[in-house]
Amino acid sequence: MGAVRTAARRRRAVPWIVLGLWIAVLAIASPFASKLADVQRDRAVDYLPASADSTQVAKIQDQLPGGEATEMVVVYHRDGGLTAADKATAADQIDRIASAHELTGEPRGIPSQDGTTLMYPVASTEPGQDEEARDELVNSVRDIARGGDGLSVDVGGEGALATDAAEVYNSLDGPLLYTTAGVVALLLILIYRSPFLWLVPLAVAGTADYLSMGVAYGLNQWFGTSVSGQSSGIMTILVFGAGTDYALLLVSRYREELRRIERPYDAMAAALRGCGPAVLASSGTVAAGLLCLLAADLNSSRGMGPLGTVGVLCALAAMLTLLPAILVLLGRRVFWPLVPRYGSTPKARRSLFTAMGSSAGRRPSAVLAGGAVLLGALALGALNLPGSLKQEDSFTSKPDAVAAMQTLAEAYPERGTQPITVIAPEDRAEEALASIRGTRGVDSAREGRTGNGWTEISVLATAPPQSAGETATIEALRDRLDGSYVGGPSAEQLDLEDTNARDRLVVVPLVLLSVLLILIALLRSLVAPLMLVAAVVAVWGAALGIGGLVFGPVFGFEGTDPGLGLLSFVFLVALGVDYGIFLMHRMREESLKGAEPASAALTALRTTGGVIASAGLVLAATFAVLTSMPLVPLVELGFVIAVGVLLDTFLVRTYLVTSASVALGRKVWWPGALSRAPEPAVRRERQPEPV
């Protein structure tokens, strides 16, 4: 009797203890979570390759007197040609800018050949490395430089573009969080058909997101992990997307167990034993895949790895501890009006996944062949992906800096309008300057600031920014200038493309290997993990192909983000394997119970298909939120991942993996024990008893 009372007290106490521990953890994390926005950095150096020339230029510029210079171009334009009054207005405004701010040199107007445009390059070291001060400087220049009566005035250049980009990134946090939470809430209401149940996983996901912000701040302070607008936004998406997936799997299993087990505490314990290994393996694959980004040379990719991992692990911890505690405390009534009664059985109905499983089971080879042809055909669309995305094409709307750059590109087609920055050793500055001026493709070069053993040289190319001609000039300068570094916006873009190509060769094999090892350990098989990995790679190719079919023709994007291939691969492989784990883990459970391979596969699809579909819809919807953001790289990433998740959920997992499992039979578990047919039981004939 005493043991029974002790067990009862434990059942009542454990959920309250877990809830109390989470309150304590949040109280500790709260001061740090609120500081994450303060350490978010979206400067070029925070995204650039760690070892590239352009990164070294940005770092050395920070050390020069006054810190990194803010480069701007004030652009005056009139369609019919600038008048004498326009030119006088421009000269007056530039004088006022020079009087109000400490500039690195006297601004000199450069007219276009057609007489429609006049540009004044303006640079100042006033803000140093302070982003807020940089934004104040740019906005001050914009307040002074104003047009009217047909005269347009725009402020562009690297500094103005950075200010516009920072404004966009700073505006992401609130809308991204609210939109994601709203999308998840709507889907949970539709999935659960309950006025209360949807609130629980949503609140737990919000708690996990808040905790992840505190942990991310700690990583930044202790290990110097970079935090950018892109990485913090992706972390929020992962917390809500992956966390809700884990909640859907757990709640579905808990509902099953409540029909078999009377007490909610015991039913939850059984649910955790049943789906816990799959959830742990699922989160492990995502975390392992994201941590492979630490091998990337690109700062933005390398910083995203730890933050994404933090988001997934915080979601895992919340969904396996806080969510069960709250559900147990609320009891069965949280499922109202569809309360799972003890001893009841759900209404038998022929679900969509039963029908899909039946068709896959009847003709597995035909289904596999058809699916492979379809995915291969879709993947061919990747050949239609637009070229690399230019900086001015990175916004879905057109900020002032982009308008200025477009005006310059049209008015000065014969020359560069964006400086290339060369950092040369101070004792070899004159030699470097002479070599630069003698380089083919260089229009002009002038010496700027000197300090800490380095001299800054500003170079203008004869070719327009980010054109093939300017790229050739940058490469020529790097070949000729031994011991110097060549940077600037165009050089940064070139380094981004080269480094992303290098990172793909390093990170992709690491992701595949790490995910494969986790699957082998979980499924105790070689064939099943190889099948799952091949499936998600095929999904990635098809999703990129669909992107190639719509980015240019439908969305009107002028280019593809250089990091799209790598980041979409990491997320789709790591997240896509989740659903394979849910399906194959249940299939393994059924096989261990003695079910034949085909029966185990179809049972697994019938019991997990609805959960996988719901989880896939939620995850796809959370990443689709990125398509509403004003940055083209985020829109492209969100679109490819959302499409890939939907393909994985409704084609690959339901049809192709099930068909392959039926076709392979026991071989799918090779070389594990389940790959061998059970030995037939030996029937012993009864011997006659002696008389």
Domains of the chain are: 9-38+181-221+228-347 (1.20.1640.10), 65-169 (3.30.70.1150), 349-399+493-672 (1.20.1640.10), 400-492 (3.30.70)
Helix (H) or strand (E) holding 276: helix 264-291
pLDDT digits (tens, 9 = 90+) for 258-302: 988 888 888 999 999 888 887 888 888 889 889 999 999 888 888
Q: How far, in Å, are 45, 193, 346, 404, 512 from residue 196 at the CA level? A: 46, 9, 21, 52, 40
Percent of the chain past pLDDT 70, that is, above it, reads 92
Global confidence as pTM: 0.84
pLDDT of residue 180: 85
User: Are residues 491 and 54 in contact, defined by beta-carbon separation less than 8 angstroms?
Assistant: yes
Strand partners, 388: 560
Helix (H) or strand (E) holding 425: strand 420-425
Question: Measured between alpha carbons, how far is 355 from 647 in angstroms, rounded to an integer?
Answer: 18
Where do we find the tokens 């002696």? Answer: 690
Q: What is the mean pLDDT of the chain?
A: 85
pLDDT digits (tens, 9 = 90+) for 31-71: 999 898 888 877 666 777 877 888 888 888 877 776 667 88
- Contacts for 607-610: CB closer than 8 Å, 24+ residues apart: 608/582, 608/583, 609/351, 609/352, 609/353, 609/356, 609/357, 609/654, 610/252, 610/351, 610/353
* Strands lying side by side in the sheet with 442-451: 442-451, 454-461, 420-425, 485-487
- Report the greatest alpha carbon distance in the chain: 133
Look at 251-255, 397-401, 503-507 and tell me which has the smallest mean pLDDT.
397-401
Where do we find the tokens 């393909």? Answer: 647
Is a pLDDT exceeding 70 seen at residue 368? yes
Provide the token pair at 462. 């004869």
pLDDT digits (tens, 9 = 90+) for 577-635: 877 787 887 888 888 887 777 788 888 887 777 778 888 888 899 899 888 888 898 89
Is a pLDDT exceeding 60 seen at residue 100? yes
Look at 70-74, 206-210, 311-315 and tell me which has the smallest mean pLDDT.
70-74
Q: 606: helix, coil or strand?
A: helix
Confidence category of residue 176, pLDDT binned at 50, 70, 90: confident
Confidence category of residue 684, pLDDT binned at 50, 70, 90: very low
